[in-house]
Amino acid sequence: MFVSLRLLYLVLLLGIFTLGGAVPVSAQKTAPRYGMALLAGQAYQPERFGLLILQGNVQLPYDQVFWHGAPDSLFFQGEINLGVTTDGRDRALVAINMMAVKYLEAWSSGSWVPYLEGGIGIIYTDFKARGQGLRFNFNPQIGAGVEWPTPCGRTLSIGLRLHHLSNANLHRDNRGVDSVLMLAGVRF
């Protein structure tokens, strides 16, 4: 799996260098931006198992979703995730998340823009880790990454997320599962 993930990152990096200059995030249109991403990584507690997640997302300016002022570089992102474990158990997960994404244009190089993200969602897993009481859980996560907007309107991204799931003490067994995930994506 990690060989194919390295190949994916190599292809994305080659694409980035061949597509050219960037358009600042705050200068992009306020229409919804749709995207896809592949997340791959590993749960590291309470037990180790691999995860591979396909994500579809939509991004809107934050102040179009929430009715208060927000910086031009702050966006709301809705996500739908479908995933599998990669440890031979053939288990699946489905998640719906909402994230706040803050682009750090002051740190931009002109051809790439770093970002920070954080949010929460709900997740259903058809498996339970040791001490985990429910299959439905909350899914808070934080992350950071870099996007490369291209002249043709697409945006390529790579990032890293810390991913947690637990039931917030809705069940007496509430052992959380923590994961670290690498992200590679494209936005249209």
Residue 78 — φ and ψ, nearest 5°?
A: -95, 140
pLDDT score of 28: 52
Residue 92 — φ and ψ, nearest 5°?
A: -125, 165
Beta strand 141-149 with 113-125: parallel, antiparallel or unpaired?
antiparallel
The CATH fold of domain 2-187: Porin (2.40.160)
| DSSP per-residue letters across 51-66 | EEEEEEEEEEEHHHHS
**What whole-number distance in Å separates Cα of residue 39 and Cα of residue 27?**
28
- What Cα–Cα distance (Å) separates residue 7 from each residue in 1, 11, 13, 88? 10, 6, 10, 22
pLDDT score of 131: 67
Ranges of the chain whose pLDDT falls below 50: 1-5, 7-24, 26-27, 29
**What whole-number distance in Å separates Cα of residue 116 and Cα of residue 104?**
8
**What whole-number distance in Å separates Cα of residue 70 and Cα of residue 23?**
20
* 8 three-class SS: helix
* 9 three-class SS: helix
**What whole-number distance in Å separates Cα of residue 171 and Cα of residue 76?**
30
Global pTM reads 0.81
| DSSP per-residue letters across 133-163 | --SEEE--EEEEEEEEE-TTS-EEEEEEEEE
